[in-house]
Amino acid sequence: MISSVVILGGVTLQRQLTISEGYDEGEDWTVYPSKQSYTMDIHAVTADAEVFTCNAYLVSGDRPVLIDAGAMPGVADIINNTVDNLEAVYLTHQHTDHVAQLDAVLDQFDAELYAYNDHPRRDGTLVDGDTVEIGDELFEIVYTPGHASDHVAFVGDTRVFSGDVVVYNDGAFDDGSFGRTDMTGQSREQLIKSLQRLLERLPQTVEELYAGHGDIYRGSPEDDTTDSVKTIIERALMRAERREPKYSNNWF
């Protein structure tokens, strides 16, 4: 059996051929409405950074956008080498490690800037409950303060861009952690409520977590052998609810 997948717009065609039957017989084309579009790629453009930075994610597709700009010098050139144009930058929050390269990116591309809080170059406001198009998918904005008062997460059917409200791993925990809340203006109690809000608004179908730090996490809700993204967030919530410091020199 040969299986090939052809991508046409937002529709996935899966073609299954039985070799013994040849290509003319036994063809079975099935059209799946593509919940998980394969036309959008997600590039962690800060992956090779030698300075402290958040993960900045470049999402290609119908609407190429950047989630956070990061702090890695030269990131605008990497974006330029990866996509033809950049339509927008969405900020999860405006801590320095997320925005240090923002001016360089906006100087190089004619991209709109969207953020929850004001910014001199902002074109649009991110509002809780609104929907934004990232790559080929729609994401709901979920306001998630605590680590930062202007923090939002982007929640789609299959993926979440979580910024620093929840991360898969960091120096404190390997399988479900959360952003620091011990600095001025931060609040653990708010962060706990934000994680609860995120869980309430998380579709059952979410499989991938793209956090502002640490590794990308993939876990299918149907696969009993791996934790689902929901489980990772629940674990982060449980750990945050201990109301203990994460560690003394947490960077983010």
93 near 152, Cβ under 8 Å? yes
Q: Which is nearer to Zn ion, 164 or 207 (CB)?
A: 164
Nearer to Zn ion, 140 or 150 (CB): 150
Rounded Cα distance, 3 and 32, in Å: 14
Beta-strand pair 65-67/57-59: antiparallel
Question: What is the closest distance, in whole angstroms, from the C-beta atom of residue 147 to Zn ion in the complex?
Answer: 6
Cα–Cα distance measured from residue 153 to residue 169, given in angstroms and rounded to the nearest whole number: 17
Residues 19-78, interacting with Zn ion (CB under 5 A)? none
Which residues make Cβ contacts (< 8 Å) with residue 169, sequence separation at least 6?
175, 177, 214, 215
- Among the candidate windows 16-24, 64-72, 90-98, 115-123, which touches Zn ion by CB under 5 A? 90-98
Report the distance separating Cα 249 and Cα 252, nearest Å: 9
Residues near Zn ion (CB under 5 A), total: 3
In angstroms, give the least distance from the CB of 220 to Zn ion.
29
The piece of 29-37, 41-49, 89-97, 153-161 that touches Zn ion (CB under 5 A) is 89-97
**Distance of closest approach, residue 92 Cβ to Zn ion, in angstroms:** 8
Nearer Cβ to Zn ion, position 156 or 212? 212
Helix or strand (DSSP H, E) at 107: helix 102-108
State in angstroms the smallest separation of the CB of 94 from Zn ion.
9
DSSP designation for 63:
B
Given 79, 95, 126, 198, the residue binding Zn ion (CB under 5 A): 95
Q: Which is nearer to Zn ion, 164 or 170 (CB)?
A: 164
Shortest Å, Cβ 143 to Zn ion? 15
Distances (CA, A) of 214 to 14, 56, 63, 161: 34, 11, 25, 13
Residue 213 binds Zn ion (CB under 5 A)? no
Label residue 181 exposed, middle or buried (CB < 10 Å: 0-12, 13-18, 19+): buried
Nearer to Zn ion, 139 or 178 (CB): 178
Closer CB to Zn ion, residue 95 or residue 235? 95
Binding mask 147-186 for Zn ion (x = CB under 5 A): -----------------x----------------------
Q: Is 9 exposed, middle or buried (0-12, 13-18, 19+ CB in 10 A)?
A: exposed
CB of 206 vs Zn ion, minimal distance in Å: 22
Smallest separation, CB 87 to Zn ion (Å): 24
Helices 229-240 and 188-200: angle between axes, nearest 10 degrees: 160
Interface residues with Zn ion (CB under 5 A) are: 95, 164, 252
